[in-house]
Amino acid sequence: MNKTLILREYIFATVGVIITAIGLVAFLIPNNIAAGGASGLAMVLNGLLKLPVGVWMYIINGVLFLIAFITIGFDFSAKTIYCTFLITFCVDLFDRFIKIPKYVAGDMMLAVFFGDVLTAIGMAITFTQNASTGGTDIIARIFNRYFASSMGTTLLLIDFVIGLFAGFTFGAKTGMYAILAIVINGMTIDFVMKGIETSTQVIVISKKNDQIADFVLHQLKRGATYLNAQGAYTRQDKKMLLIVLRRRELGELISFIKKTDKSAFIIVSEARYTFGEGFQNINNAF
């Protein structure tokens, strides 16, 4: 893989981890909102035995990786290991050493909302770089390997159990806020990732396909493919142009086509995942 691309992935993954850590330390941890994951379990254990949350995260992730290496072998990308211990370091750093402002003893809904928004944005950025922050993902992977259980379902169940433990440790009201945070977090991550990853597929039928293809190749710096077709009514052979680009580039393309051929026929649809040059690396595919 291109070294520049690898470096970019690590930089974006690092930014995602830092945003996640800020959301945890500023909003969720001070209010005992254990919204799943290693950080949520660390909050519950902190309520039982007063070690800092960051220290508990070191212990939890270390134990989970050890179990994983014994049971399923070295089945983790370098970025996942990096991000797992980076988020642990950042949480401990922001919690104990670089004191960032914390939202405490206020409206719990505000803590859930802003904590979830920050952590979900950070985790979504990390996920799009083919990495994760470890934690309960490791348990889900073990269950997936030995019991063929769905990763998503297993993660959700584990996070709900952590939310229930938070209810027993910090009170029913806090536990309900934790479960609410888990639900909102999952929905927000999906929403953010969809916005980051979604591409647009465009099919163009035009008498000036060559001009449009030239614009796509040289101005938008995207690829285009000719597809042979035949009109069902006219029986005439013609070419269609298949283009895949980012959603933000669609307006520029449509504007050019309008100026070039007002009679062009255009089909625009969402491409949920796009792998290949200019988009996600094929190695990141599921």
pTM score of the predicted model: 0.73
Which pLDDT band holds residue 152 (cuts at 50, 70, 90)?
low
Starting at the edge strand found earlier in the chain, the sheet holding 199-205 runs 224-230, 237-246, 199-205, 265-271
Per-residue pLDDT at 153 exceeds 80: no
Which pLDDT band holds residue 223 (cuts at 50, 70, 90)?
confident
214 shares a domain with 74: no
149 shares a domain with 212: no
pLDDT at 18: 95
Question: Which of 196, 222, 243 is where one domain is finished?
Answer: 196
Q: How far is CA 259 from the centre of its chain?
A: 37
216 shares a domain with 165: no
Domain range for 262: 198-284
Per-residue pLDDT at 283 exceeds 60: no
What percentage of residues in the chain have a pLDDT greater than 70? 91
pLDDT tens for 249-259 read 888 899 899 98
126 shares a domain with 172: yes
- Indicate the range of 10-14, 26-30, 66-70, 258-262 predicted with least confidence: 66-70
CATH number for 236: 3.30.70.120
Q: How many domains does the chain have?
A: 2
pLDDT tens for 30-47 read 998 988 888 999 999 998
134 shares a domain with 159: yes
Q: Which residue has the higher pLDDT, 77 or 283?
A: 77
pLDDT at 80: 81
Question: Which of 181, 196, 211 is where one domain is finished?
Answer: 196
203 shares a domain with 185: no
56 shares a domain with 122: yes
223 shares a domain with 106: no
pLDDT at 93: 93
Question: Which of 196, 219, 249 is where one domain is finished?
Answer: 196
173 shares a domain with 78: yes
Range among 78-82, 97-101, 161-165, 196-200 rated most confident: 161-165
139 shares a domain with 73: yes
205 shares a domain with 160: no
178 shares a domain with 242: no
